[in-house]
Amino acid sequence: MNNCEYQQIEPLSLPNPTPPPRPAAVEEEEEKARRKWEVFPGKNRFYCDGRFIVAQQSGVLPLTLGLILVTTVLFFVFDCPFLVKHLTVFIPAIGGVLFVFAVISLLQTSFTDPGILPRATPDEAAYIEKQIDNSGSSTYQPPPRTKEVVINQQVVKLKYCFTCKMFRPPRTSHCSLCDNCVERFDHHCPWVGNCVGKRNYRFFYTFIVSLSFLTAFIFGCVATHLALRAQGGRGLIFALQESPLVICFLSVWSILGLSGFHTYLVASNLTTNEDIKGSWSGKSEAEDTGNPYSYNNILTNCCSVLCGPMPPSLIDRRGFVPVEQSSQTVSMEMVLPMPAAKEIKVVGGPTPSQLPPSRALQVPSSPLPATPLSLTGRPQFSCLF
CB neighbour list of residue 323: distance below 8 Å, 6 or more residues apart = 33
Interatomic CA distance for residues 257 and 273, integer angstroms: 18
270 neighbors 171 (Cβ within 8 angstroms): no
Q: DSSP 3-state assignment of 292?
A: coil
Q: Output the DSSP codes for 339-355.
A: ---EEEPPTTPPPGGGS
Tell me which residues are annotated as active site: 189
| Cβ-based neighbours of 70, under 8 Å, separated by 6 or more | none
- Measuring CA to CA, which residue among 375, 302, 339 is closest to residue 11? 339
- What is d(CA 264, CA 256) in angstroms, rounded to the nearest whole number? 12
CA-CA distance, 355 to 351, in Å (whole number)? 7
Q: Which of 234, 249, 252 is nearest to 82 (CA)?
A: 234
Q: Is 351 exposed, middle or buried (0-12, 13-18, 19+ CB in 10 A)?
A: exposed
